[in-house]
Amino acid sequence: MKRRFPRVRDLVPLLKFKRFEPNPRKRRLAAALTIWDLRTIAKRRTPQAPFDYCDGSAEQEISIARARQAFLDIEFQPRVLQDVSTVQTDSMVLGKKVDWPVGIAPTGFTRMMHAEGEIAGSRVAGEFGIPFCLSTMGTASIEEVRSNNPNGRNWFQLYMWKNRDRSMELVDRANKAGFDTLILTVDVPVAGARLRDKRNGMSIPPALTVKTILNAVPRPEWWWNFLTTEPLKFASLENWNGTVAELLDSMFDPTVTIEDLKWIRQQWPGKLSVKGVQTLEDAKRITAAGVDAIVLSNHGGRQLDRAPVPFLLLPRVVKELGKDVEIHLDTGIMCGADVVAALAMGANFTMIGRAYLYGLMAGGEEGVRRALEIITSDITRTLKLLGVNSVNELEPGHVRQIWSQKNLTS
C-alpha cells in the first residue's frame, strides 16, 4: 500500500466543527436521542422523591416491566418497494382531528417534577396538535390550562370523590372552559402500594428534611424553581400535608359502580372516555353504558401489580368492540414505534405519561418539546420503513406479537 503525507487541501474539507451551544439546557436536550436519554437526564436533575414518584410503580413493579416488554417483543412486518416520500400522521379522534396519534395522559402532582408542570405540557401539546389531559390531581387549574392552550384540545380526567358535588363542580368548570372530553379513571378504588414513595417518605408538598436537603445539593435548579415559584396547588383542592396514598384514600370513592358511570354520562355533554379498562368483560359493560371511548390501561403499573398488559389485551377488545367504540391505549409507551405497533393492532389512539414527564424533568417546556420531537420523528420513520403512507393504513399484518404467542401456547 503506497503512502503519502496528508495534504492541507485534503484535510480542510474534513474539518467540520459544530457551533458551540452556550445554553446548557439546549445543549443537554439536543444530545438526547431517545426517551431513555431524557430519563437519564431527568434522574440526574430531579430530587429522588419526585423522580421516583414518576418513575416507579406498584409493589415489585412487574406490571410496568411486562407492559414495556410486550412492546419490545414484537416483530414488524415491513412492505418494501413502496413510495413513502410522504406520510400522513393525522387522524380523527373523538370527532376531531389530531395531528399525531398520541396525546399527553393525565398525570398528578406534575409541578413536583418540574415547576413549569402542566403549563409546559399543555403549551407543547397545542404546538403539536395533540390533546392534553389535565388530571383531577393536577397542579394547574382548569382555567390556567385553557389560557395556555386556548386553541388546542383540552381534556379533563376525573376521579370520582366521596364528595360527589365537588367532583361535578370540576366537571362543570371543565365544560365551561371548553374542554371537549371527560376521561373517567376507574382503576383507583384505593391507592396502589407504591413502595418507592414509602421508602422515600414522599409527601405533598415535598418536605425539607436532612435527607432531602442532602439530595438537593447536586440539584440546585430544581429546588430554586420549587422555592421561588407559586406554592404547589392542585386543580381540585387547596392544599394537603401527607403522603400521596393517604390523599387518594381519603378522597376517592371505592363504591363507584357502572350505575355511576351512566349517571356521569347524563351529566357530561361532551365526549366521554373511561380509563383503566383491563379485561374484555369490563370493556363490554362500559361500552354498553354509552361511552365514546375506552382506554386500555393498567395505570402505568401503579395500581395492581401483575395486572393485564394493555397491549396484549388490545387485539381481543378490538375484535369484539372495534366497531362500537374508540379504543385508546396507554402504559409502557416509550417510543414512536410503540405507538405505531398499537395502531397496527387496532388502537385508535395512544397516550403517554412517563415519556412526557421525563422530558419535563429534563428541561421544562423545552424538554417536553424534545420528548414529542423524538416520538413524532420515530412515528414518521417507522411508518416509512414499514412501507405505509398513513397511520390509517396500519393493520395487524404489520405486527407480529412474539411474546403473546409464546405465552398463549405455553
Domain boundaries, the chain: 76-408
The confidence score (pLDDT) of residue 218 equals: 84
Range of weakest confidence among 147-161, 190-204, 310-324, 354-368? 190-204
The pLDDT-based confidence of 409 (bands split at 50, 70, 90) is very low
pLDDT at 307 over 70: yes
Higher pLDDT, 98 or 16: 98
Higher pLDDT, 327 or 238: 327
The confidence score (pLDDT) of residue 118 equals: 97
Cα–Cα distance measured from residue 113 to residue 38, given in angstroms and rounded to the nearest whole number: 13
As a CATH number, domain 76-408 is 3.20.20.70
pLDDT at 52 over 60: yes
**DSSP label at 27?**
H
pLDDT at 208 over 70: no
The per-residue b/e assignment along 209-220, b for 16 or more CB within 10 angstroms, e otherwise, is eeebeebbeeee
Cα–Cα distance measured from residue 410 to residue 401, given in angstroms and rounded to the nearest whole number: 15
pLDDT at 408 over 50: no
The answer, yes or no, to whether the previous bond of 13 is cis (omega within 30 of 0) is: no
Q: Nearest-CA neighbor of 248 among 313, 297, 204?
A: 204
In terms of C-beta density within 10 A (0-12 exposed, 13-18 middle, 19 or more buried), how is residue 65 classed? middle
The confidence score (pLDDT) of residue 199 equals: 87
**CA 239 and chain centroid, separation:** 25
What are 96's strand-pairing partners?
93
Catalytic residue, chosen from 114, 299, 328, 398, is: 299
The pLDDT-based confidence of 244 (bands split at 50, 70, 90) is low
Residue 398 catalytic? no
Question: Mean pLDDT across the stretch 279-291?
Answer: 97
